[in-house]
Copies of this chain bind each other. A is one copy, B any other.
Amino acid sequence: MPDKLTVVPLGGLGEIGKNMMALETPEDLILVDAGLMFPEEEMLGVDLVIPDVTYVEERLHKLRGILITHGHEDHTGALPYVLPKLALPNGRLPVVYCTRLTRGLIDVKLREHNLASQASVRVVQPGERVKLGRMTAEFVHITHSIPDSAALAIQTPVGLVFHTGDFKFDHTPIMGGPPDLSRIAELGRQGVVLLFSDSTYADTPGYTPSEQTISPALDQIMADAPGRVIVATFASLIARVQQVIDAAVKNNRRLFVTGRSMMDNVEMAIQQGYLNAPDNILASLDKMRKLPPERIAIVTTGAQGEPTSALVRMANRDHRHIEIQAGDTVVFSSSAIPGNEVLINRTIDNLYRLGANVLFSRIANVHVRGHAAQEELKLMIGLVKPKYFVPVHGEYRHLWMHSQLAQAMQIPREDVFILEDGDVLEIDKRGARVTGHTPADFVYVDGLAVGVDRIVLRDRKHLAGDGVIVAIVTMDKHTGKPIGRPDVVSRGFVEAEMSDGLMERARDVITQALSGAEHVADRSDFNTRVHDALARFLYDETRRRPMVLPVSVEV
């Protein structure tokens, strides 16, 4: 068999989150990351979106493992959903390889889904190599907004592939060492055939500042605030929690943790030695009453305005233990994920209404980005010096801008590939080319099950827009003629006051629609007549298009 590498992004291109990449040779297949994505506005009622692993399911005999670059949900969160689908021919689940903190975070998720005993998650040290059939993968230490992040150097039959994972070059991180620049440079000198690089902030000029730069701001806020300081951030931003702990210690405040995922992650991170908290700094919420406000700091979830999060409950006066009061200072140590702006702004407004002072990254230096900006992206390309370049992680404009950076660094235009999810890129000794496209659609998780498709979402959108009207007609099964007056029930259509007269006339419209036919035995004829007449009538009257559901009852 000729040496060949097939690359299939199953997520993470053209949209944010839901990262997954398949690397396939004639003998072996490995996956990089298994992320989930939170639904976009029009995915009504959907809880989560996960990658479509059909392509992998068709090749389970050669699946050698899943490599996870770091512990964020957009890289790990789909594991509980896809692992059961990816059982190997021997019945076992594929092995998940990752660094230690990442394993801790994955274990929390697997336990929630009762999968911890079946799954096999192996810790890999930075610098360590994992054999995956004829491929090997080395985890290379890199910096991001979560400790223990890794880039991957994957030896394949066509040469070395380097995948940055999510990264920024933070030379003074809060936790763990600086990125392993010398190893990356060494790999570059040895020759890298293909670079996948993080494009999330490819539209941002310059450098991303170090995480260190916000410590003085947090410190100052804790020193100056007249009352409690409540810091909201991502539950996975372990390093930020450390900064909050440090600022609290320095300013003689005790730290309280609230929000389920924040509590779980902090507990795990302390147990595993990632968080360094002096004795007696962390306290349980019931101890808060005994302390004066200026001795209290709180770290919480809810920085994205998530409706059920601890901070949003506080802002809505709905938190069981914490009531916002005048003198409180709330810090959003985060940036808005696009689409969440409205929820975040509403939360800020409500906190102000309750008398809190609110600080966020637009008006205070309380957050830095977690991803590389343009100069770092160029530095990565300069170190790795790949033959082929594929920008990953980001929406299309980010991939496009990242591809412009690569071309500015003398990678020929024909060696830069802007892929979209499902595109199949093949590399062999003759070169690299896109050879096709495989389904890599959104898979929607709603409630217990994966069981929402485009038709369900289309119907939800229709229902959301103008509501529903059900037309119930009783028919004589012998004559096929309506008996009595049709009934109608509507919801989400017009307000009660307007409804009565309209519904009476709608009943007449149905009667009339059926009066022409001698025998409406055919159900589809019945449906069409009632649907069309009613839809037309309601549109003429209201310029709205509710979903019309004709129901016939034969007696």
Contacts and interface: CB of A to CB of B under 8 A. Distances in A.
A160 interface: no
A468 interface: yes
A338 B342 contact: yes
A519 interface: no
Given A45-B464, A466-B45, A551-B470, A451 B494 contact: yes
Given A489-B551, A495-B453, A543-B447, A465 B44 contact: yes
A553 B448 contact: no
A352 interface: yes
Interface in A453-483: 453, 455-457, 459-468, 470, 472, 474, 483
A483 B467 CA distance: 30
Contacts of A400: 352
Name the prevailing secondary structure of the A interface residues.
Answer: mixed
Contact residue range for chain A?
Answer: 35 or more
Q: Which of A45, A453, A459, A483: most chain B CB closer than 10 A?
A: A45
A456 B342 contact: no
Interface in A439-454: 446-449, 451-453
A465 B358 contact: no
A111 interface: no
Given A339-B342, A459-B492, A41 B44 contact: no
A428 B73 CA distance: 59
Contacts of A350: 396
A267 interface: no
B460 A397 contact: no
A456 B463 CA distance: 11
B494 A452 contact: yes
Contacts of A496: 453, 455
Given A447-B466, A451-B497, 13 more contacts: A339-B341, A345-B395, A348-B397, A446-B466, A457-B492, A459-B467, A461-B464, A463-B463, A463-B464, A470-B551, A487-B553, A491-B549, A555-B555
The 6 closest A-B pairs by CB, nearest first: A447-B543, A464-B464, A459-B492, A349-B396, A463-B463, A460-B492
7 contacts: A45-B466, A45-B544, A446-B466, A447-B466, A449-B498, A449-B543, A451-B498
